[in-house]
Chains A and B, each alone.
Chain A
Amino acid sequence: MTKLNTFEQAVATYEPVLGLETHIELDTKTKMFCGCATTFGAEPNTQVCPVCLALPGALPVANRAAVEATIKIGLALNCTIASWTRFARKNYFYPDMPKNFQTSQYEEPLCEDGYVDVVVDGEVHRVEIERVHLEEDTGKTLHVGGTTGRIHGATESLVDYNRAGIPLVEIVTRPVPGTGALAPEVARAYTAELRDIVRSLGVSDVRMEQGSLRCDVNLSLNRPGEEWGTRTETKNVNSLRSVERAVRYEVRRQSALLDAGERIFQETRHFHEATGETSPGRSKEEATDYRYFPEPDLAVMEPSREWVEELRASLPELPRKRRERLQAEWSLGDKDMQSVVNADAVELIEATVAAGTTPSGAVKWWLGELSRRANESGEELAALAITPAQVAELQGMVDDGRLNDKLARQVIDGVLAGEGSPADVAAKRGLEVVSDTGALEAAVDEAIAANPAVADKIRGGTHAAAGVLIGAVMKATKGQADAGTVRQIILDKLS
């Protein structure tokens, strides 16, 4: 295989063009076209009926709540809502579709022509939305006989249709040129913004790790001034970090092929979480022949303008507005707020503040120590094994003088290691600031006795010399003393 270019080499020669397709599972109580429940984690094949199994004679009826949720998403993405729209059958044979077609939308999507603005490196990038349409999810397939449950090498598969028919919204961007070296960050920022918008609407829990938000990343490269290149489509990229890595990898891989005079094939690729690489998936040659046709079993939809305006009026505060409000409430500068957004920490900090700590305390931990830990372990901040309530508790202990920052970092070690709440960890590991003044006074006395010359200096009025004694006391107490208290005791004794 061709050696990869570095990302920097690649973007020095080629311009990436991005495209993103996102699937969002709505959290309606029932499926898209039948009354089956949509409870996550139910026993296999217990939430299926003649409609979602497509038994002969069964007739689908569209779920009003799913249509409303999709219109809301379209409105929040600045789309035009169709005044005439219908479903279509996308015909293909695959065991995860019991009907042998997926009910989707083709030429007449519910919403079209919108945009999302994302800020990367202080610059606004407008990502244009081509369409937002409504379709249904497929079943879940368990691959047996291969390695680690993958479809490759499997000898047979087991299918659970509980998920088949759950409403799925597909959001497709127009190609996004002009992002250059920022392409990975723009892709990530767009996905994060989309997730936050949909979450604010309350129509999906948009959990990437549970598959309720799934991302396909399209990418092509071209030399400046030349036509856009052939794109690849990387499937099922399931975290924000993976979106960024998938773009980065494809830029590096494609540029190396182009440098070697080879051509890029239009193909589906799979992203591998462990290595950050992509590999070819099934060939698209035959699969594109979906023979779409209008779904005759479902009535045409004509969303009235009154209905659309009613839904528009019901939209909650959207993330961009909310961020502006929070930035003011937290008294953060633009740069700091941008760091919070980039670290995906808005909700975490909001929840931490809500749990009873100051904004500056919450920002300090999430952007400082905890971001560092997340980077080290290659995790998302939200995936760390510490909750906003625990961070608030930790900062509360610092505010009360029970912990100093050094001890607090050790407490974080314990919380992340699953040893319990900050108070539990502090108790178990003996990590409390020594507030017993008797013990502190004894330590100060010892320090004075060991450093008579320094003590004389302080007696003579050179208070700055107290640092030496404070250091000695901190050492003696293994860092578990509050420096301010120690200083006060020293000065009291030597004045």
Chain B
Amino acid sequence: MSTISREEVAHLARLARLEVTDDELDAFAGQLDVILQSMKTLAEVDTDGVQPTSHAVPLVNVFREDQPQPSLPRDAVLAGGPDTAEDRFRVPRILDEEA
């Protein structure tokens, strides 16, 4: 049985702002299902008292000192966006009409 539904895949796609066609929903649900099944197998291992790994490298307390460094020139910054105005990035309306 599939552990992830088309609806769940559609929900995840919406959260990640991805456009997914109906065919792709089916395909991804199938692929994600394989991944989740593999996870299930891994989940059988006894991990009581083992901290989940979030970092592959055993580094701790890496800090920088509070010393200013040069920022990027503004032209270079703004060149990265599709549209600008008044030295700012211009973005479409944020709230829908009814909000």
A: residues with CB less than 8 A from B are 28-30, 34-37, 43-50, 53, 55, 61-67, 86, 91, 93-95, 141-143, 151-152, 154-161, 282, 286, 289, 291, 293-294, 296, 298-303
Q: Is the CB of A302 within 8 A of B60?
A: yes
Q: A29-B68, A159-B89, A299-B62 are in contact. List 13 more A-B contacts (CB 8 A).
A: A34-B69, A43-B87, A45-B77, A50-B72, A53-B72, A64-B66, A95-B91, A95-B94, A152-B99, A154-B93, A157-B94, A296-B56, A299-B60
Q: Which residues of B contact A157 (CB under 8 A)?
A: 90-94
Contact A300 B95 (CB under 8 A): no
In the bound complex, residues from chain B placing their C-beta under 8 Å from that of A30 are 64, 66-69
A156-B91, A160-B88, A291-B15 given; A48·B77 CB < 8 A = yes
In the complex with contacts A151-B95, A156-B90, A64-B63 CB distance below 8 A: yes
Q: Find out whether the CB atom of B65 lies under 8 angstroms from the CB atom of A64.
A: yes
Identify whether the interface residues of A are mostly helix, strand, loop, or mixed: loop
Q: Which residues of chain A have C-beta atoms less than 8 A from B68's C-beta?
A: 29-30, 35-37
Q: For residue B61, which residues in chain A have a CB less than 8 angstroms away from its CB? A: 299, 301-303
- Nearest 8 CB-CB pairs, A to B? A35-B69, A294-B54, A64-B63, A158-B88, A65-B66, A299-B62, A95-B91, A61-B64
B86 proximity list for chain A (CB < 8 A): 44, 142, 158
Q: Which of B32-81 contact A (CB under 8 A)?
A: 54-57, 59-72, 74, 77-78, 80
Closest to A43 in B: B87
Minimal beta-carbon separation of A328 from chain B (angstroms): 37
Q: How far is the CB of A302 from chain B (nearest CB, A)?
A: 5
The dominant DSSP class at the B interface is: loop
Which residues of B lie under 8 Å from residue A159 when comparing CB positions?
88-91
Chain A residues positioned under 8 Å from B74 (CB to CB): 43-46
Q: Which residues of B contact A (CB under 8 A)?
A: 15, 17, 54-57, 59-72, 74, 77-78, 80, 85-95, 99
Query: When the two chains form their complex, are residues A49 and B72 in contact, meaning their CB atoms are under 8 A apart?
Result: yes
**In the complex the two chains form, is B93's CB within 8 Å of A45's CB?**
no
Interchain CB contact under 8 A, A294 and B94: no
Q: Known contacts A49-B71, A157-B94, A291-B15; decide if A61 and B89 are in contact (CB<8 Å).
A: no
Give A120 Cβ to nearest chain B Cβ, in Å: 37
> Please, could you name 9 A-B residue pairs with CB atoms under 8 Å apart, sorted by A?
A48-B71, A48-B72, A49-B72, A62-B63, A65-B65, A141-B94, A159-B91, A286-B15, A302-B60
Q: How far is the CA of A66 from the CA of B65 in the complex (A)?
A: 10
A142 nearest CB neighbor, chain B only: B88
Q: Which B residue sits closest to A60, measured CB to CB?
A: B64
Complex contact B66–A156 (CB within 8 A) = no
- With A158-B86, A301-B60 already in contact, the answer to whether A35 and B67 are too (CB < 8 A) is yes
CB contacts (< 8 Å) of B65 on chain A: these are 64-65
Write the chain B residue with the least CB distance to A295. B54
Task: Determine how close the nearest CB of chain A comes to the CB of B11; give it in whole angstroms.
Answer: 8
Nearest opposing residue in chain A for B15, CB measure: A289
A296 and B55 contacting across the interface, CB-CB below 8 Å: yes
In the assembly, what is the distance between CA of A303 and CA of B63, in Å? 12
Contact partners of B90 in chain A: CB under 8 A: 156-159
> CA A66 – CA B54 in complex, angstroms?
23
Q: Is the CB of A154 within 8 A of B95?
A: yes
Complex-state Cα separation, A94 to B94, whole angstroms? 8
Which residues does chain A contribute within 8 Å of B66, judged by CB atoms?
A: 28-30, 63-66
Q: Smallest CB–CB gap between B32 and chain A, Å?
A: 15
A50 to chain B minimum Cβ distance, whole angstroms, is 7
- A160 CA to B88 CA in the complex, in Å? 5
**B88 proximity list for chain A (CB < 8 A):** 44-45, 142, 158-160
CB closest residue in chain A, given B73: A46
- By a CB distance below 8 angstroms, the chain B residues around A302 are 60-61
